[in-house]
Amino acid sequence: MSRFTAPIAEQIWDMKYRFKKADGAPIDLSVEDSWRRIARDLAAVEVQPQLWEDRFYAALEDFKFLPAGRITAGAGTARQVTLFNCFVMGTIPDSMGGIFEMLKEAALTMQQGGGIGYDFSTIRPRGADVKGVAADASGPLSFMDVWDAMCRTIMSAGSRRGAMMATMRCDHPDIEDFIAAKADAARLRMFNLSVLVTDDFMAAVKNDGSWDLQFDGKVYHTIRARDLWNRMMRATYDYAEPGVIFIDRINAANNLNYCETISATNPCGEQPLPPYGACLLGSINLARLVADPFAENAHLDGDALAELVGTAVRMMDNVVDTSKFPLPEQRAEAQAKRRIGLGVTGLADALLMVGLRYGSDQAARQTEDWLRAIARAAYLTSVQLAQEKGAFPLFDATGYLASGTMQQMDEDVREAVREHGIRNALLTSIAPTGTISLYAGNVSSGIEPVFAYSYKRKVLQKDGSHTEEEVVDYAVQMWRDLKGDAPLPDYFVNAQTLTPAEHVKMQAAAQKWVDSSISKTINCPEDIGFDAFKDVYMQAWDSGCKGCTTYRPNDVTGSVLSVSDDASAAPEVVTSEESSPQTPHSDVIYMSEPLDRPQALEGSTYKLKWPDSEHAIYVTINDTVINGHRRPFEVFINSKNMEHFAWTVALTRMISAVFRRGGDVSFVVEELKAVFDPRGGAWVKGKYIPSILAAIGGVIEQHLISIGFLAGEGMALKADPQAKVIGLETGRGAACPSCGQYSMRMIEGCMTCGDCGHSSCS
């Protein structure tokens, strides 16, 4: 019999985690082969490898312990990929040479599949003096644009694009521009943005005090703290970014605050890391550990939990020694501190199985108890590993035990650490688990509530047709198996029916026993008032959270699939051609036949001079008029430089073919502007352009603005008289870029597809 409890689980395994040859032929013939591959590889560093291989296999069996996707896909494959999920790059120097050295390191890291975080607070603000060149600095956001273009170009391992987090201190002079950056829907799309909020700033907000924006000891502006806070909140209310990271709280709690300072996180925010810090992730599947589910004596098996946590910690510690690293600095940092991030998934399902309503006081207390048990087991296991293999090299008992996290730890754990040391500096984290949760049978993701108890999923068949299958939450399917058609109890709630305060309550309860941080989305209703929305962040601050990420459906961020409270009535995606062309996030239907070329067209020719190139490039764009509106019809790109001949001809034909199909062709500009030349770009008219192709994209963009096709630089299509639009009667967000289905929703701070598991953060 198959170990998979749902068709989607097997499909995820086959697509994401199954070891295959280059031609697609499977090497892992079953999921048991995958488990054995991982267990054997991670046990290879043990003195008794066969003993531990069997124990590791038992932990993996039936999806009880879920290593993060990079471990599951990469362990035992001998491929040149990192098993670490996330990195924070080195401190960015405030110099041109240093900045581009960091860019190169980032590209090397992304090639091996790592998500990356950066602190851009170290770059001088826009307009500051640049000594020696009689110029003004362009500011950190201009360099973030360069990083963004690079990230679009570099394809990471497993055909994934890299994910990035950018942070900036709340006292940086360019913080207001940073906060407003996502107002341009086409800018910094490869970044998540978060503001590093200090304790002093929060005090100033509460006391309605002033706030200095400064860099390198110089005060550039003084503003009202509440005004900056309101700007931050308004941007998040409108665009879902930036997030908020309470950075002083993170550093105070950090077990390693005696030897490191944190100023950035990984892309989803659950791993605050120092320069060159790296972390690997894994999750305990709580839904698999509930004994007698839905019965009066339903409970989580505490002994099984402690044993599983112990095995998982040992497995993850071994990853530090078996993994490859993109940079030697990352390897040195990982081995000096041996940081791991053990978390949970299936929390909401486990709460349902023991009869608790997610968001209730009882559920929060139970969550805190379970996370405390995990923390105790993890720390005690790491102490045992220190006795067996040695403490992490930078361990200092006095500094370690003085940290905020360790001061609240149980005294017997503190005493064990004091006497024997500890193998891993930090051990717990709540990471995004969208894909591995589907792989485990569609258990609820991380510590999030259940999003939908069931929904319809379209599956593409080999003959090109589509079939539909029902995707059912793990706990709901178990209820059906045990109770038949009995109605779901009242305590079955989902993400849409919970209040923001209930989300915050659950995050705060989990955070007490998590030494890193938590990736969680606090869902807010679309009609929540701005003052009530701001209060969510104050609740997160007041309740001890280390950060806060919200999601409010709106015209900019997109809506979410409507779901029914009744699990038997799965929501169905319905299309309609009667929707208005202004429907947010709608998809344009392109013309099946290209437009015929008129005898004469009106157009313009632009001269593009690329630095260090002997010959200029000429770009001619001709337009057609449809229903009184000008739109691009064809493009010609010419140069006397024969080195450019082949690609300019190819580009001419491809872009012209796209233009002649009609519809929203603004993506051509976006894609060209994102092309990054690894040999380096050039400064043109005071602006950094990452490649010649990006420069051509800029020329086309300016032409489309001049004819009224685009509203402005970086803006999407203003109006297209030829476009027909499909939409959801119930409202929806954007299509998944991987499978095309309209199942994208915000989970754990990432837009994630419920059909194929694609995540914008990995």
Catalytic residues: 266, 268, 270
330: tokens are 């990352």
Cα separation values, 83 from 319, 320, 342, Å: 7, 9, 14
User: Do 475 and 376 contact (CB within 8 A), yes or no?
Assistant: no
384: tokens are 């045992």
580: tokens are 């208005």
Cis ω before 242 (30° cut-off from 0): yes
Rounded to 5 degrees, what are φ and ψ at 732?
Answer: -160, 170
C-alpha triplet 722, 723, 727: angle, nearest 5°: 160
Pairing of strands 86-88, 115-119: parallel
Cα separation values, 297 from 142, 294, 302, 346, 369, Å: 59, 8, 14, 19, 17
- The CA radius of gyration of the chain, in Å to the nearest whole number, is 27
Nearest of 737, 634, 563, 621 to residue 190 by alpha carbon: 737
Nearest of 449, 353, 730, 727 to residue 564 by alpha carbon: 730
C-alpha triplet 169, 174, 175: angle, nearest 5°: 45
Cα separation values, 55 from 40, 46, 49, 311, 314, Å: 10, 12, 10, 7, 10
End-to-end CA distance of the chain: give it in Å, rounded.
Answer: 32
User: Do 275 and 327 contact (CB within 8 A), yes or no?
Assistant: no
Within 10 A of 135 (CB to CB), how many other CB atoms are there? 10
Q: Give the DSSP H or E segment for 51.
A: helix 49-60
Q: Which residues, in sequence order, are CB contacts of 759 under 8 Å at separation 6+?
A: 432, 434, 435, 750, 751, 752, 753
Cα separation, 256 vs 400, whole angstroms: 6
239: tokens are 């665009």
In the 3-class helix/strand/coil scheme, how is 293-332 assigned residue by residue? Answer: CCCCCCEECHHHHHHHHHHHHHHHHHHHHHCCCCCHHHHH
Identify the burial level of 735 via C-beta atoms within 10 angstroms of its C-beta, where 0-12 means exposed, 13-18 middle and 19 or more buried.
middle
Instruction: Give the helix ranges, DSSP H, for 570-724.
Output: 645-660, 667-673, 692-706
Cα separation, 347 vs 275, whole angstroms: 32
How many residues can be counted in the chain?
762
Q: How far is CA 296 from the centre of its chain?
A: 39
Task: Report the sign of the C-alpha dihedral through residues 689, 692, 694, 698, in that order.
Answer: positive
C-alpha triplet 373, 523, 375: angle, nearest 5°: 10
SS3 401: helix
611: tokens are 């630095």
Cα separation, 666 vs 710, whole angstroms: 8
Burial 695-706 (b: 16+ CB within 10 A, else e): bbbbbbbebbbe
